[in-house]
Amino acid sequence: MPLFHSVAEKDVTRAIVSSFLRQFEQYADSDVIIVGAGPSGLVAGKELAARRLKVLIVERNNYLGGGFWIGGYLMNKVTLRAPAETMLDELGVPYEEAVEGLYVADGPHACSKLIAAACDAGVKFANMTIFDDIVLREGNRVAGVVVNWTPIAALPREITCVDPVALEAKVVIDATGHDACVVRRLEERGLTRTVGFGAMWVEMSEDLVVEHTGEVHPGLVVAGMAVSTTYGLPRMGPTFGAMLLSGKRAAEVVMGILEGITVA
């Protein structure tokens, strides 16, 4: 007697297609779209979805978590400085104290817990989806993103005449790391200006990244390492406390925008 229930191949195909298209149609209009599924984007998404907002995270890779999986130098340990270990406590991730105020955890454990927490909160993902452009409305307010399949960008132009599609949102978060892809699209149109990230200085960078996390242009909030590129801050290297706390800060800023108040 077979172990598994009898199902035809066409039923498998229909299940994938119908589920994907139903979600994609629903999230063509979201409360918040986050570009980049690294630690700052995941934390921001988790916080916002927990407040019952409709949140879609767009990720160009087939995996989520960015550098949070592998930490520094291809060694899968991640470091965080106090008080960021409270985020590990919140996620239920074990860690040890390396020196006073510096904590180390297993990257795969921390990253998978953060992804699971975002999913549990209700975040939806569009991975293998690359950011292409922005949607602008009255007063050049950012009102969404233009995306395409990631493999399209890797193929020769002459055989990939595939127009991208647009996704609308009340607020967009740029969590694309040092690339700062969304902010740079605004810069190309003369609507903002990036400075480029500076040399590494962990102690200075982490405080400044969290401090500068905020609305960089109407409808666009910048978080994580994209903050460094936007404002010319020192790079922080393989320590992740500021990325996690920047995600929290970005969520607070978004809530303020949606409620019509300014978050200091």
Q: What is the pLDDT of residue 194?
A: 95
Low-confidence ranges of the chain (pLDDT < 50): none
**SS3 (DSSP) at 235:** strand
Give the Cα separation of 223 and 40 in Å (integer). 6
Residue 246's CB is within 10 A of a number of other CB atoms, namely: 31
**pLDDT (tens digit per residue) in 147-206:** 999 998 888 877 777 899 999 999 999 999 999 999 999 999 999 999 999 999 999 999
* Nearest CA-CA partner of 129 in 13, 20, 39, 247: 20
Instruction: Give the global pTM.
Output: 0.96
